[in-house]
Amino acid sequence: MNKINIGLIGYGNVGSGVVKLLQKKRKYIKAKHHVEFVLKTICDRSIKKKKIARGLKNVRLTASIEETIADPDLHVIIELIGGLHPAKDIILQSLKKNKHVVTANKEVIAHFGQLLFEEAHRQGQNIYFESAVMAGVPIIKLLSEGIAGNGYKEIYGIINGTCNYILSAMSQNEWSFEQAVKEAQKRGFAEADPTLDINGMDSTHKLAILTALAFNKFIKPNQIHTEGITQISHHDIEYAESLNLTIKLLAIAKQINGEIEARVHPTFIPKEHPLGSINGVYNAALLSADPLGDVLLSGEGAGQFAAASGVVSDLINLASRQGSDAHQLLSNLYIESPDVKLRKIDEVETRFYLRFKAPDQPGTLAKISGVLGRHGIGINSVTQKAHEERTASVPVIILTDDAKEKDVRKALAEIAKKNIIKAAPVAIRMENL
Amino acid sequence: MNKINIGLIGYGNVGSGVVKLLQKKRKYIKAKHHVEFVLKTICDRSIKKKKIARGLKNVRLTASIEETIADPDLHVIIELIGGLHPAKDIILQSLKKNKHVVTANKEVIAHFGQLLFEEAHRQGQNIYFESAVMAGVPIIKLLSEGIAGNGYKEIYGIINGTCNYILSAMSQNEWSFEQAVKEAQKRGFAEADPTLDINGMDSTHKLAILTALAFNKFIKPNQIHTEGITQISHHDIEYAESLNLTIKLLAIAKQINGEIEARVHPTFIPKEHPLGSINGVYNAALLSADPLGDVLLSGEGAGQFAAASGVVSDLINLASRQGSDAHQLLSNLYIESPDVKLRKIDEVETRFYLRFKAPDQPGTLAKISGVLGRHGIGINSVTQKAHEERTASVPVIILTDDAKEKDVRKALAEIAKKNIIKAAPVAIRMENL
Spatial CA neighbour of B11 closest among B68, B94, B96, B88:
B68
* Cβ proximity of B153 and B249 under 8 Å: no
Rounded Cα gap, residues A241 and A180, in angstroms: 18
Give how far B176 is from chain A: nearest CA, Å: 24
Least confident range of A85-89, A121-125, A165-169: A121-125
Of A141, A297, A326, the CB nearest to B321: A326
Cis peptide before B86 (omega within 30 of 0): yes
pLDDT (0 to 100) of residue B2: 84
Q: How confident is the model at residue B331 (pLDDT cuts 50, 70, 90)?
A: very low
What pLDDT, in 10s, does the model give residues A118-157?
A: 899 889 888 999 999 999 999 999 998 999 999 999 999 9
pLDDT over 70 percentage in chain A? 94
Give how far B155 is from chain A: nearest CA, Å: 14
CB contact under 8 A, B333 and A297: no
Considering only residues B391 and B256, tell me which one the structure prediction assigns the higher pLDDT.
Answer: B256
> CA of B92: how far to CAs of A98, B96, B121, B252, in Å?
39, 6, 12, 30
What pLDDT, in 10s, does the model give residues B115-144?
A: 999 899 889 888 999 999 999 999 999 998
**Type and span of the H or E element at A100:** strand A100-103
Q: How confident is the model at residue B432 (pLDDT cuts 50, 70, 90)?
A: confident
Helix (H, G, I), strand (E, B) or coil at B139: helix
Going by C-beta distance under 8 Å and a sequence separation of 6 or more, which residues neighbour residue A309?
A: A21, A131, A135, A136, B147, B149, B150, B289, B291, B292
Residues of B in contact with A322 (CB under 8 A): 324-325
Least confident range of A182-196, B127-141, B313-327, B409-423: B313-327
pLDDT (0 to 100) of residue A332: 53
Residue A397 has pLDDT above 90, yes or no: yes
Spatial CA neighbour of A61 closest among A98, A13, A11, A4:
A11
CB contact under 8 A, B274 and A298: yes
Residues of B in contact with A21 (CB under 8 A): 149, 291
Least confident range of A171-180, A231-240, B25-34, B81-90: B25-34
Phi-psi region of B151 (alpha: psi -120 to 50; beta: other; left: phi over 0): beta
Residues of B in contact with A142 (CB under 8 A): 138, 141-142, 146, 297
DSSP H helical ranges for B258-358:
304-321, 326-331
Give how far B314 is from chain A: nearest CA, Å: 8
Which residue on chain A is closest to B318 by alpha carbon?
A326
Phi-psi region of B166 (alpha: psi -120 to 50; beta: other; left: phi over 0): alpha
Locate the DSSP E strands across B17-103. Answer: 35-43, 60-62, 76-79, 100-103
Residues of A in contact with B312 (CB under 8 A): 148-149
CB contact under 8 A, B35 and A333: no
Q: What is the mean pLDDT of residues A45-72?
A: 93
Which residue on chain A is closest to B285 by alpha carbon?
A297
Verify whether residue B206 is a known catalytic residue: yes
Spatial CA neighbour of B161 closest among B252, B246, B113, B229:
B229
Rounded Cα gap, residues B140 and B131, in angstroms: 8
Residues of B in contact with A25 (CB under 8 A): 149, 151
Residue B221 has pLDDT above 90, yes or no: yes
**Which of B18, B271, B290, B296 to probe by mutation at the A interface, max A CB count within 10 Å?**
B296
Residues of A in contact with B323 (CB under 8 A): 324-325
Q: Of B206, B217, B248, B254, which is the active-site residue?
A: B206
CB contact under 8 A, B296 and A298: yes
Q: What is the mean pLDDT of residues A57-74?
A: 96
3-state secondary structure A63-90: CCHHHHHHCCCCCEEEECCCCCCCHHHH
In the 8-state DSSP scheme, what is residue B146?
A: I
* Cβ proximity of B268 and B428 under 8 Å: yes
Give how far B322 is from chain A: nearest CA, Å: 8
Mean residue pLDDT across chain B: 92
- The residue type found at A317 is N
What pLDDT, in 10s, does the model give residues A353-394?
A: 999 988 888 888 999 999 999 999 999 999 987 665 566 788
Radius of gyration of chain A (CA): 24
Residue A231 has pLDDT above 70, yes or no: yes
pLDDT over 70 percentage in chain B? 94
CB contact under 8 A, B274 and A277: yes
Spatial CA neighbour of A197 closest among A160, A251, A222, A252:
A160
Residues of B in contact with A289 (CB under 8 A): 309
> CA of B237: how far to CAs of A31, B169, B198, B358, B431, in Å?
46, 11, 17, 19, 16
pLDDT over 90 percentage in chain A? 75
CB contact under 8 A, A33 and B148: yes
**Which of B152, B297, B315, B340 to probe by mutation at the A interface, max A CB count within 10 Å?**
B297
Residues of B in contact with A325 (CB under 8 A): 2, 322-324
Helix (H, G, I), strand (E, B) or coil at B375: coil
Of A149, A297, A328, the CB nearest to B312: A149
What pLDDT, in 10s, does the model give residues A288-347?
A: 999 999 999 999 988 899 999 999 999 999 988 776 655 455 545 566 666 678 999 999
Q: What is the mean pLDDT of residues B31-47?
A: 93
**Which of B22, B142, B309 to probe by mutation at the A interface, max A CB count within 10 Å?**
B309
The upper half-sphere exposure of residue A362, i.e. CA atoms within 13 Å in the direction of its Cβ, equals: 0
* Cβ proximity of A324 and B325 under 8 Å: yes
Rounded Cα gap, residues B300 and B161, in angstroms: 8
**Chain centre distance of CA B243:** 27
Residue B272 has pLDDT above 90, yes or no: no
**Type and span of the H or E element at A185:** helix A177-186
Rounded Cα gap, residues B182 and B178, in angstroms: 6
CB contact under 8 A, B309 and A321: no
DSSP H helical ranges for A247-389:
304-320, 326-331, 364-374
Of B34, B146, B216, the CB nearest to A146: B146
Q: What is the mean pLDDT of residues B21-28?
A: 94
Residues of B in contact with A292 (CB under 8 A): 135-137, 299-300, 305-306, 309
CB contact under 8 A, B309 and A150: yes
Residues of A in contact with B298 (CB under 8 A): 274, 295-296
pLDDT (0 to 100) of residue B362: 82
pLDDT (0 to 100) of residue B54: 85
What pLDDT, in 10s, does the model give residues A404-419?
A: 999 999 999 999 998 8
- Beta-bridge partner residues of A403: A350
Of B306, B315, B325, the CB nearest to A324: B325
Residue B325 has pLDDT above 60, yes or no: no
Q: What is the mean pLDDT of residues B9-33?
A: 94
Of A300, A313, A330, the CB nearest to B320: A330
CB contact under 8 A, B292 and A312: no
Spatial CA neighbour of B368 closest among B432, B314, B414:
B414
CB contact under 8 A, B137 and A337: no
pLDDT (0 to 100) of residue B316: 93
**Which of B145, B216, B279, B433 to probe by mutation at the A interface, max A CB count within 10 Å?**
B145
Give how far B23 is from chain A: nearest CA, Å: 11
Q: Of A206, A217, A248, A254, which is the active-site residue?
A: A206
**Which of B16, B19, B329 to probe by mutation at the A interface, max A CB count within 10 Å?**
B329
Of A32, A216, A300, the CB nearest to B333: A32
In the 8-state DSSP scheme, what is residue B144?
A: I
pLDDT (0 to 100) of residue A331: 46
CB contact under 8 A, B315 and A149: yes
